[in-house]
């Protein structure tokens, strides 16, 4: 059995603890040493009234699009709470009557776990391709529900509106940084005890940047490989002066690990 090029590498995982199980398992399969460093956490939106209203009037929409696993998680959690509180049942059956789209396979899997029978995913897992998918399958003027994070790239919403869709974008969760208690990691980073830092979202990059700044660590000559899940995340890092060495061509955890294996295979 051939050893992975990641064998023995210490790889930092910066996503929230509750979302890190998948990438940690895959790193362990490569005989790498995962180093969990959750730099962000998600919480409910400050005002859930818009989400509650959207869930109550699901039948008025033609489609629903989910751009993250967190969006799925918070949406269905709230739907369950409403069902328990006031008998708002039938969310799954009503969603199965709509055009449901997800930006990538992880988000689609989260929807399948909620028992949605049909979820549409763009071929290249990009927001731009998601817009194209919706344009191909729905008519201009169609009503879309977009449950989203508080801070997102405006590009998707702008493109949907420009395409003629009537979009009801509802904030369901927000992201907070978790920078406390990270002194050991800062020491390990400075002493070259980690090999790779992975970023799976722009939010993790921003939190990492703040962590370095709070400890007055330089960003340009970090003794570590920086790996990003896709070009949007990489662009955020480069904008902040953090050199990027690896960008996954397939914007998934599997794609990120494959890109790292290719990098170390070539580097030796």
Return the HEC string of the chain: CCCCCCCCCEEEECCCHHHCHHHHHHHHHCCCEEEECCCEEEEECCCCHHHHHHHHCHHHCCEEEECCHHHHHHHHHHHHHHHHHHCCCCHHHHHHCCEEEECCHHHHHHHHHCCCCCCECCCCCCHHHHHHHHHHHCCCCCEEEEEEECCCCHHHHHHHHHCCCEEEEEEEEEEEECCCCCHHHHHHHHCCCCCEEEECCHHHHHHHHHHHHHCCCCCCCCCCEEEECCHHHHHHHHHCCCCCCEECCCCCHHHHHHHHHHHHHHHC
Mean pLDDT of 243-260: 94
Mean pLDDT, the chain, rounded, equals 91
Q: Is the pLDDT of residue 19 over 90?
A: no
pLDDT at 251: 84
- pLDDT, tens digit, 9 for 90 and up, residues 82-113: 888 876 667 888 888 899 999 888 899 999 99
Tell me the pLDDT band of 153, cut-offs 50, 70 and 90.
confident
pLDDT at 101: 94
Whether this prediction's pTM lies above 0.85 is answered by no
pLDDT at 111: 94
- pLDDT, tens digit, 9 for 90 and up, residues 21-40: 999 999 999 999 999 999 99
Query: What percent of the chain lies above the pLDDT cut of 70?
Result: 97
Q: Is the pLDDT of residue 125 over 80?
A: no
Residue located via tokens 């005002």: 47
- pLDDT, tens digit, 9 for 90 and up, residues 169-203: 999 999 999 999 999 999 999 999 999 999 999 99
Question: Looking at 59-63, 147-151, 196-200, which range is the least confident one?
Answer: 147-151
Per-residue exposure over 45-79, b if at least 16 CB sit within 10 Å of its own CB, e if not: beebeebbebbeebeebbbbbbbbbbbbbbbbebb
Q: Is the pLDDT of residue 124 over 90?
A: no
pLDDT at 92: 84
Tell me the pLDDT band of 44, cut-offs 50, 70 and 90.
very high
Mean pLDDT of 201-214: 94
Mean pLDDT of 78-84: 89
């Amino acid at each position: 059995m051939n050893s992975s090029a990641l064998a023995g590498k210490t790889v930092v995982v910066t996503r929230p603890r509750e979302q890190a199980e998948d990438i940690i398992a895959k790193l362990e399969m490569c005989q790498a040493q995962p180093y969990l460093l959750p730099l962000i956490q998600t919480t409910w939106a400050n005002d859930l009234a818009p989400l509650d209203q959207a869930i109550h009037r699901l039948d008025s929409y033609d489609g629903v699009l989910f751009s993250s696993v967190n969006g799925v998680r918070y949406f269905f959690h709230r739907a369950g709470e409403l069902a328990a509180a006031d008998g708002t049942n039938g969310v799954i059956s009503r969603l199965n009557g709509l055009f449901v789209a997800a930006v990538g396979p992880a988000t689609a899997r989260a929807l399948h776990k909620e028992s949605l029978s049909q979820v549409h995913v763009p071929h290249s897992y990009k927001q731009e391709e998601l817009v194209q998918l919706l344009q191909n399958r729905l008519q201009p003027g169609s009503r879309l529900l977009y449950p989203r994070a508080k801070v997102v790239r405006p590009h998707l919403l702008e493109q949907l509106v420009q395409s003629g869709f009537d979009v009801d974008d509802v904030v369901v969760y927000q992201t907070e940084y978790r920078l406390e208690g990270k002194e050991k990691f800062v020491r390990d980073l400075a002493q070259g005890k980690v090999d790779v830092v992975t970023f799976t979202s722009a939010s993790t990059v921003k939190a990492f940047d703040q962590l370095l700044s709070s400890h007055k660590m330089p960003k340009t000559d970090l003794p570590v490989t920086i790996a990003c899940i896709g070009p949007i995340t990489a662009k955020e890092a480069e904008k902040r002066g953090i050199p990027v060495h690896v960008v996954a061509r397939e914007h998934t955890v599997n794609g990120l690990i494959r890109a790292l294996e290719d990098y170390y295979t070539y580097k030796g």
